Amino acid sequence: MAKPKSTREFSGLESYSGEAPAPAKPVTAPGVYPTVRPRRNRGDAWSRRMVAETALRAEDLIWPLFLEEGEGHSKAVSSMPGVERMSVDRAVEAVAQARDLGIPAVALFPHVPSEKKTTDCAEAWNPDNLICRAVREVKRQVPDIGVLCDVALDPYNALGHDGLVAGECVLNDESIQALIRQALVQAEAGCDIIGPSDMMDGRVGAIREALDAAGYQDVRIMSYAAKYASGFYGPFRDAVGSGGFLIGDKKTYQMDPANTDEALREVALDLEEGADMIMIKPGMPYLDIVRRVKERFAVPTFAYQVSGEYAMIKAAVERGWLDNDKVMIESLLAFKRAGADGVLTYMAVDAAKRLKEG
């Protein structure tokens, strides 16, 4: 019988060509390269998909549309490349396209002719105004898509503000009464989601009470709960035709961009008053607000990738500085990663097409 090998012969201190296996290299401490290689999971497309922490789907997108009077036409918004104001018939066709791509809802905004802008904003609650006619037509022809209507007076206001104005003061309580009337005609037209964007104190509770009393208890409220007095709204004001009418600024009712705790208070108040969903606006410059709100309240939370954000990306794309598809998807993923359940974005249709293509 062969003599057992000595401990020294198996020690790995010198070469051995007999029956014993070669010794393994010492194991590196856990959590240290080369044992740990994060790139392993990035090595193949399938594994990247498998370990992705955040998913973006067409169902996460809401498409804002701009409307104007007339029939059979559309008009480009010069400060928003690729965005048009559409007549109602054209808008209905666009909404059907969005539905077919899996987008669950659209948000409608009117371009109001200057002759219909008044200081009392009465066109806002005209049951036959542009928005109400559009809502009725969309719900008639594309009933299986949600319709969100903005509740604020600025498109109808000869002074460009979201509320009624007396002297240099934007009135709070008087504006709420006007906003209630606006919300009710929109609900009557068939709107699914009321979106109060005016930032008047107490308007969510007042609108909820009025909707319930009128039998519209199933109409949802997506409150613009944390809407900041931002410089990113300029192209939107061009699109709805309110920019040239604005007297002063909106700092007495929209939030200070320096504040975050205040956003939590605004959201808490709107939820207590009956908001079903809340929104943060603008979007990417305020992702910290999205994260804080979602973590604190755990309610359906949306963000608005506003016109200025869109315009900056598109301007860079037009100059060849950015890749449109890559930046579009990356920017929308950022909202989901921050905690948003959905995003209002002018890129919704293009993004849905890209996602469908894989």
Q: Is 227 a catalytic residue?
A: yes
In this structure, are residues 336 and 105 in contact, taking their beta carbons and an 8 Å threshold?
no
Closest to 133 (Cα-Cα) out of 160, 101, 108, 163: 108
Q: Cα–Cα distance between 355 and 340 in angstroms, integer?
A: 18
Task: Render 155-224 in DSSP notation, one character per residue.
Answer: GGBTT--SS-EETTEE-SHHHHHHHHHHHHHHHHHT-SEEEE-S--TTHHHHHHHHHHHTT-TT-EEEEE
Assigned token pair, 318 = 């037009």
Asked about 336 being catalytic, the answer comes back as no
- Determine what percent of the chain falls in helix, strand and coil, rounding each to the nearest 5: 45, 15, 40
Of the residues 116, 117, 281, 336, only one is catalytic, namely 281
Tell me how long the chain is. 358
Nearest-angstrom CA–CA distance, 138 and 133: 9
Please name the residue ranges forming H helices in 24-151: 45-51, 88-100, 130-141
The single residue of 116, 117, 227, 294 carrying the catalytic annotation is 227
- List residues with catalytic annotation: 227, 281
